[in-house]
Amino acid sequence: MLVLPDKKQLFDLYKSAFSYFENRPWEKISKSELFGILNPETGIVGYCFLGGAQDGFSLNVCMGEEALYRYLNALFTSKKPAVDSMFDIDSLSVAFVKSSSYPKEDLKKFKGLGIKATKNTLLPCFRSFSPGMQPWLFDAPQAVFVITVMNRIAQMCMEGDSAPDLSIGEDEKITVLLPPGEGGEWAFEKRDFAPVEPEFTIITPQDDGCVKQMKKGCKTKGQWIAGIYYSPFPVSKDEDGRAVFPKIYIIADYKTGELLACEDFENIKEDGCKMVDMVAYLIQERREIPRTVFVRNDETFYVLRDVCEMFKINMKPAVRTDKTDCFWKTLLDSQDD
């Protein structure tokens, strides 16, 4: 069960957030200065990304090297991040929003703390992200760690030139800040900048001569777009009431946006063959082999890689554009039916 922060921890969380905001760290620490802060309770490094006004003055802390890989992949591999990219990342987020847009459950907690704020004060909104889960309020350990993170960032802003150098040099080393032990001081060390690529599922279909037979009489025509997404609609809730979103695959005609197939995965390692089998089924039914399949992400690429190779289908990454946004809308519309 989720252990929520007690009143003192909540008070400290909000006070640290206001102190963080007052120090305006986004003006003193550039976006290129990626750094980590060690969580001494778990041994996991939280990698910090600071956003300015255009990003809601946000602070995003990616928990661990795989989360860092996914975050960077979402930011820099396309012009626009995928619609559901944050669903794939273990991260802790702080964003500052107007009181008029502040979530009701947050406002209730804030008012109970007795902290004074004017009508124009931007209020901090705290959310925890986990793969396939509804963004949720911090639990107590997360709150304690984010307090540590925000306090250290605010402290570095006041230290000026004496603060640690956060730039990533030619040796591609990243600064990891180490919290003090009891009565000690903050330290830091340089570590290899090494985001960890997730282990993706590879589905290798059995070719017992059927592929050669299926190719007969099939035209090479058109283009498809395929993706593995988190469903926009939850299917269940966990014991804390947090909505759970399953993964689904969709295949559509790239030119027209026509939805060709859509199905959910209970477990992608066990059920990934559903998507591979559907590619073969669509080819057989339509008597057409697409020239190209645009794939939405790495996960989709690895699931479809071998079947596309068998049918000699080119694979290309689907950069998020207005066309692929329409693809996402097609999914939403199909789920409403």
For the stretch 107-110, contacts whose Cβ atoms lie closer than 8 Å and that sit 24 or more positions apart, written own/partner, are 109/10, 110/14
Question: Which pLDDT value is given to residue 86?
Answer: 60
Write the pLDDT tens digit of every residue in 119-151.
778 899 999 999 888 889 999 999 999 999 999
The helix or strand, by DSSP H or E, that contains position 274, with its residue range, turns out to be helix 273-286
Question: Which pLDDT value is given to residue 85?
Answer: 58
Write the pLDDT tens digit of every residue in 144-185.
999 999 999 999 988 877 788 888 777 788 999 999 876 688
Question: Which pLDDT value is given to residue 206?
Answer: 75
pLDDT above 70 (res 337): no
The Cα–Cα gap between 275 and 298 comes to 15
The Cα–Cα gap between 108 and 137 comes to 13
Chain centroid to CA 130: 8
Which residues are within 8 A (CB) of 44 and not within 5 positions of it... i.e. 6 or more apart? 38, 63, 64
Interhelix angle 7-22/140-159, rounded to 10 degrees, is 30
pLDDT above 70 (res 247): yes
Q: Which two tokens stand for residue 237?
A: 């809730």
pLDDT above 60 (res 79): no
**How many helices and strands (H and E) does the chain possess?**
9, 16
Q: To the nearest whole number, what is the mean pLDDT of the chain? A: 85
The Cα–Cα gap between 157 and 207 comes to 61
**Residues facing 91 on adjacent strands:** 62, 129
Which residues are within 8 A (CB) of 4 and not within 5 positions of it... i.e. 6 or more apart? 137, 139, 140
Q: Which residue has the higher pLDDT, 183 or 63?
A: 63
Q: Which amino acid is at 179?
A: P
| b/e sequence 152-183, b meaning 16+ C-beta within 10 Å | bbbebbeeeeebbebebeeeeebbbbbbeeee
The Cα–Cα gap between 176 and 41 comes to 15
Q: Which amino acid is at 277?
A: D
Question: Which pLDDT value is given to residue 255?
Answer: 86
Q: Which amino acid is at 247?
A: K
Percentage, residues of the chain above pLDDT 70: 88
Indicate the pTM of the whole model.
Answer: 0.82
Question: Hey, how many other C-beta atoms are within 10 angstroms of the C-beta on 239?
Answer: 7
The Cα–Cα gap between 240 and 253 comes to 40
Detail the DSSP E strand segments found in 98-239.
Answer: 123-129, 173-178, 187-192, 219-220, 223-230, 236-237
Question: Hey, how many other C-beta atoms are within 10 angstroms of the C-beta on 54?
Answer: 8
The Cα–Cα gap between 162 and 322 comes to 46
* Average pLDDT value for residue range 64-91: 73
Q: Which residue has the higher pLDDT, 270 or 322?
A: 270
Question: Which pLDDT value is given to residue 193?
Answer: 86
pLDDT above 60 (res 81): no
Classify residue 160 as left (phi > 0), alpha (psi -120 to 50) or beta. left
Q: Which amino acid is at 115?
A: I
* Average pLDDT value for residue range 36-50: 95
